[in-house]
Amino acid sequence: MRNFVVWFDIPVRDLDRSVKFYAEVIATDLAVVEGAPSRQANFPFAPGIASGSLRENKEHKPGAAGTMVYLDGGDDLSVPLARVEAAGGTVIKGKTAIGPNGFMAIFKDCDGNTVALHSRN
């Protein structure tokens, strides 16, 4: 099976604030890349693994409408979901069973983007 998503960009208004938000919620470091056409911070990635970035630019505006990205919620998405509000976001839909596919939850990040978490447990 291959990854059907190879890369994603989440538009942000304030890269530094958004890096802090996502680093706190999903408990990982993001690598800020300077000198690109726009400011961005990359989620960890390795060959063969889909990943993405937070991107601060004028062409793409944060918002609740559009494609929703599901981030890995680890072994139990309740853990990162519990950090959303303290980090400046809003939980829209708590942990919800999605049959044999595990669980999902939806939150609004500090820029107003709607993002989901997924876990098997």
d(CA 9, CA 83): 22
In a domain, 59, yes or no: yes
Residue 105's pLDDT is what? 97
pLDDT in tens, 44-73: 988 888 999 999 988 889 998 888 999 999
In a domain, 2, yes or no: no
The CATH number of whichever domain residue 101 belongs to comes to 3.10.180.10
In a domain, 1, yes or no: no
d(CA 67, CA 80): 21
Task: Give the domain range for residue 55.
Answer: 7-119
Q: Quick one: DSSP state of residue 100?
A: G
Least confident of 14-18, 24-28, 36-40: 36-40
Burial per residue of 17-45, b for 16 or more beta-carbon CB atoms within 10 angstroms, e otherwise: bbbebbebbbeeebeeeeeeeebbbbbee
